[in-house]
Each structure stands twice: as C-alpha cells, then as structure tokens.
Amino acid sequence: MAYKVKDPEFFKKRLKEADQTTEEEGASGEKEKTTPFRAKPLNISTAVDSVLTDTIKLLYEVEYAKMAEEIEKLRENAVRERFTIAVVGEFSRGKTTFLNQLFEREFLPVSNLPTTAVLTRIRHDSDEKIEVFDEKNKKNQERELSMESWEDLTVQNFGGEDFDGEVLVKIHSELLLHSNLEFIDTPGAGDLDETRAKGIGDVLLGCDGAVIVISATSPLSLSEKLFIEERLIARKLPFLLLIITKLDMIPPEERAGVVQYVVNKLKQWKLDIPVYIPYDIEWSETTYDNITGMDKVKGEFARWIANPLRMALHETWVMEKTLDIVNHVSSSLTERKLLAEERDQAKQEALISEKKQKLARAQLVWGDLRIQMQRKCTECCKLLLSQADVYAAAITERLQYEVSHANHLEKWWTEDFPYRVKIELTNMAVGINSAALSQIENDARWYRAKIKQTFQSYILYQRQAIVDKTLFGNFDPGRDIEFENLDRQRTAFKIGSAVLSISGCALFSALGFLPIAATMGVGTGAAIFSEKFFGRKIEAQREELKKEIARCVPLFIRNSMEESERRLEAVYRNMIDEAHKSEQAWLNAQQASIDNICIQKDGQNAKIQEFLAKLQWQTDTIQSLLIQEDKDESESYHE
C-alpha cells in the first residue's frame, strides 16, 4: 500500500504559504521574513512588476507583512487574470470542432446533432481532467479526460431535463499556459430555453472576447445577425472575430463566393468584425490565404491579449491599490515615529490609549457608513423602478396610439410590434442605464468624501506629517472605492443589458426563433391571437390589442427590471466591499503602529525615518508610472 504524503498540496504552495505551514508546525519556532513569490508578469510590464516587487520587499523589511501580502495578492490577481474567450454561435455550426482543432486534439465530443449541452470552460492544467460543477457552482464530480466521460453531459442525454451546471476541462496546452487564456464552449444559441440563454448572456458579460462561429452551408442568417448585435455588440464585448466553418462541405468553386458574401454582409450591417477560415481549404480561383489557417486565428488572439489598453488597465488598477497601501503604511510609520519621540513614558501611554479609543470609534463609523451606503442602494433601486414605471406608461401609450392608427392590425401586431418593443426597450435601457450610473456616481462620491472625512478626523498625527514631511500630499484614502478599472467597463453595461437581453428575447419570440414567450408570461404576435380574432371587426381588434399592450409591456419591463435591480445591488455591494478592504488595510496599519510602538527601541527612530524616505521614493515611482499610464491611455484613445 502506498504511503500517504503528509501535505498533498505542498508543491502547490509558494514559499510564503510553506513558511506559514512550517511555523504552525513549530519546525523553526521563530517568525521569519518571507520572500515574495514572483509569478509570470503577463498582464503587467516589467517596470511595474519591478516596482511592486521592491514595494513588497520594503514592506516586509518594515515589518508590515500583512500589507506586503496584500500587494502580493493584488499582483497575483493582476498577473493571473485570465483572458476569457467565448466560442458562440447557433447549434451545429462547428464550435466544438473548432476548439478541438485549435488544441489539435479530440477532447470535446462532436456529432452532427446539437451536442454541447453545458457551458464548458477550458483551462490549462498539467493534471488533465474534467470537473463537473452543479448549478450552485459547487464541484460535484471529477472525471478522467476521455470521450467516455462526456457520455451523460451531451444534449442527447438530458432528455428534456436541463443541467444548469458547468463543466471545467483542464488540459495541458501551451497556448493556454503562456497566454493565460481560457475558452468557453457554449451550447448552440438557437438551442436554448430562456433560462439558459440568460445564463449564457451572463457568462458573456464576464468574457473579454468572443469567437462567432458560422457555417458556410447557411452563412449569416438574420438570427445570427441579431445574436451578434444583441448579445455581443450591445454588451460591448471588446474583441470579436468571426470564423467560417464547413467550407469543405460546399463545392470548391462556390467557396470564395461564400466568404465574399459573409464579408459583404458584415460590411452592409456595419459590423466591423474580422473574418477567418480556421482550416486549410482548397480554393478554385480566388484564395483567402491572408485569413486562412489556425495560425491566423491564434495571431488574432495574441493581438487581443497584447492590446496595450488592456495591460494599462491592469497596471493602473494594481498600482493605485498599491499606492493606497503604501500610503497607509507611511501614515502608520509617521505615527510610530511621533509617538516614539515622546520621551515621557506617561504621556506616551496616554497617547497610545487615546489612539486605541479612536480606532475603536473609527471602526463604528466604518460600520455606520456601510449601513448608509446600503440604504443608498435601496433608494437607487426605488428611483430606477419608479423611472421604469414612467417608461412603461409612456411606451404603452405610444404603442396604443400606433394601434389606433394602424390599418393592417395583424401585420402590425406580428411584424411591427416586436420591433417597436425592441426599439422602445432599447431606448429605455439607455435612459435607465444613464440614470443609474449618474446615481451610482453621486453615491460613490458621497461615500468617498465620508471615508476621507473619517480618516482625517481620526488620524491627527497625519496632518502634522503633511506639513512637516510632505509625505501625504497625494493621500486619498477614498481611492479604493472608485470602481476597479478592470470592472468599470463591464459593470457599467450590466444594468442596461438586462433590459436589452429581454428586448432581444421579445423579438426572437415574436419571430418564432425562441419559444420563450410562455416562460416569460408574455404572449406576443400571432401566438396568442388566432385567425378568428383577426376576422373580427377592426375596432374590437384595436381594443383587444390595446388591452394586450397594456398587459404585456409593463410585464416585459418588470421582468427586465428584476434582473437590473440584482445587478445594481451587485454594483453597490462591490463598492462596499472595496471600502471594506480599504478599512481593513487602514485598521491593520493603525493597529501595527500601536503594536510596534510598544516594542520601540532606542535608535529605531532613525530607521523609521529611513524607511519613510524609502516609502516616499516608492510612492513617487508609482505615481510617475501612473502618470505615464494616463498619458499613454489618453494618447491611444486619441489615436
């Protein structure tokens, strides 16, 4: 029988974690300094990476290990941020085949029938396996990476029952490893019920890019156009490319025509999306060598990842956070110095005691601010709901007016109405989004100001330091609660896109592409009015349609607002969490200064002074890098 190893995760732990283990085990007995683990600087430049490493080392040196660990975490988060690419398209367009060919191995199941039933994430791992997660995102199975493992995970095996979980495929892949890429294979878009369509919509919100797969045998249908517009363009997915599969299934002489047709269609629809053919193919005359081959597709991925704007966002995010932490430490060190300078033992003790009391009070204020912010979230939701009611009434009125003037009611109801609803809801989404963002911005500003006020009223010594040492000229404790740059863009579009996705669904359902009207409790188009109804007198029809509009429009909006409300709450929760992190950092720094003053030794003041100078230097370096980032960002924007 094999011997069980004492710590199975030992080699997965980096130096710092291993240190903690040995300390717990009492192997060394003494607390030792740790050396930071340096991961691959993929999303941040060497200059930023080097500044972060120096800062971490310095913080360990000044015995602010918790703060150093925080920067290490930030750095690792920035570095390890995956670039997620979703592979999307209608069913049986060859999405999974594309992925198999991309990785040059058959590891995902394919067949002529719709096959992919669940969202399948593909990540690098040297230990290849399949992990199955349930709808609560809890891992409930691990399987070997083989075709047999997929047997109960394909569409044919669900027999009408939905599996709402996800599958994570871990494969050894150089492509994924060196670029921190992650792919998501999605079920066919035309193959989804409403819940799963929404689920995929949510996944797309978290993606950096998407590969749209279309088949040469039925290139760019109207529903595909709508899918691209509603689910990808409207969600501001920054990187898109379109690939044409199954070109080998049409005669060689027609292939160039299909490609040209797709390119022209995209131009005609004003969709600026590059087109690629991922497999080498035989052409009769015109060839498309410049867009043919998997290497070209990989090249496009490489360009996405290397996009300077993306790196700049990562860098700004991590540097701003680091700057805050450094500022906290500087503030705390200054206090230590001032407290230690007080030679009278009794006075020093009184100062420490006063500081402890202030800290306790500050904690209460922090808590109170959190509650107030939660109230503001509720108020914001109420405001948006009342705005939505106003929109609902106005849209209903407009549509009823149109009904009363339409000559061909059946045509209006089956063709114009879904389109009008889409337009109205899109406008409403834009309006509500903008109102929500403005409200959020106001609340964030308020929160930031309050936190700053709290800091200033409780850090008395720091004011002196500003005057004396000009250490805190740029001290802005509220910086944390500005949205994280990385999430700013995504979050901003989440609120309105819920409305957009519903309006998209409404259109689909009316056109008969997605049978979701029943599940939404909304009936549109011919589905609810029979031929007999349209045989009635026109005035009676008008009245019926007006009633139906009055019933279904508010219902559409209510459905969409429920989702929007959930997302709005998430935005506020993020802000509160961010501030909470800042609070923890501040409290840790303050507590450390109290703890350290108690073990202050002679001659340490000079050392503190030296550390303060070093921290100032780090602050200056980070700030100069941030200024450079701002400059680069605005230059690339103007370009």
Partner 1 sequence: MVRTVSIERIKKNLKTNGFFLNCKIPIGYTAGFPILQVRNESLCILFPYLKYQTTGEIDRTLVFPVRYGILMELPTEKIIGFEDYEYREIFKNIDFNKPVGFFRHDAVKKYNREQYKTLYDELMKEYDKVINALLGNGNYSFDDERRMRELLQILIEPSLLSVYQAIDMDFYYKYLSKGDESYGI
Q: Where does this chain bind partner 1 (CB under 8 A)?
A: 2-15, 18-19, 22-23, 25, 27-28, 32, 34-35, 37-42, 46, 49, 53, 104-105, 126, 172, 174-175, 177-179, 181, 298, 301-302, 305-306
Q: How far is the CB of 58 from partner 1 (least distance, A)?
A: 17
Q: How far is the CB of 237 from partner 1 (least distance, A)?
A: 20
Distance, in Å, from the CA atom of 503 to the CA atom of 423, rounded to the nearest integer, reads 8
Q: How far is the CB of 193 from partner 1 (least distance, A)?
A: 37
Nearer Cβ to partner 1 (214/305): 305
Q: How far is the CB of 106 from partner 1 (least distance, A)?
A: 13
Nearer Cβ to partner 1 (312/597): 312
Residue 6 makes CB contacts below 8 A (sequence gap 6+) with none
Distance, in Å, from the CA atom of 29 to the CA atom of 541, rounded to the nearest integer, reads 86
Nearer Cβ to partner 1 (35/264): 35
Helix (H) or strand (E) holding 87: strand 83-88
Nearer Cβ to partner 1 (27/467): 27
Q: Look up tokens 């009492």; give the residue.
A: 26
State both tokens at 76: 């690792």
Nearer Cβ to partner 1 (42/244): 42
Nearer Cβ to partner 1 (100/616): 100
Long-range CB pairs of 410-417 (<8 Å, 24+ gap) are 410/526, 410/529, 410/534, 413/525, 413/526, 413/529, 413/545, 414/510, 414/525, 414/526, 417/510, 417/524, 417/525, 417/549
Say which DSSP state 140 is in: E
Q: How far is the CB of 130 from partner 1 (least distance, A)?
A: 17
Q: How far is the CB of 180 from partner 1 (least distance, A)?
A: 8
Distance, in Å, from the CA atom of 167 to the CA atom of 449, rounded to the nearest integer, reads 44
Nearer Cβ to partner 1 (18/460): 18
Q: What is the CA radius of gyration of the chain?
A: 29
Collapsing DSSP to helix, strand or coil, 557 comes out as: helix
SS3 content of the chain, % helix, strand, coil (to 5): 65, 10, 25
Positive or negative, the Cα torsion across 265, 269, 274, 278? negative
Q: How far is the CB of 307 from partner 1 (least distance, A)?
A: 12
State both tokens at 311: 């790196």
Nearer Cβ to partner 1 (8/251): 8
State both tokens at 610: 């030296």
Q: How far is the CB of 128 from partner 1 (least distance, A)?
A: 11
Buried residues in 502-523 as b, exposed as e (16+ CB within 10 A):
bbbbbbbbbbebbebbeebebb
Nearest to 402 by CA among 427, 419, 390: 419
Nearest to 297 by CA among 87, 529, 532, 551: 87
Nearer Cβ to partner 1 (57/546): 57
Nearer Cβ to partner 1 (26/251): 26
Q: How far is the CB of 38 from partner 1 (least distance, A)?
A: 2
CA dihedral of residues 172, 173, 178, 184 (deg, nearest 10): -100
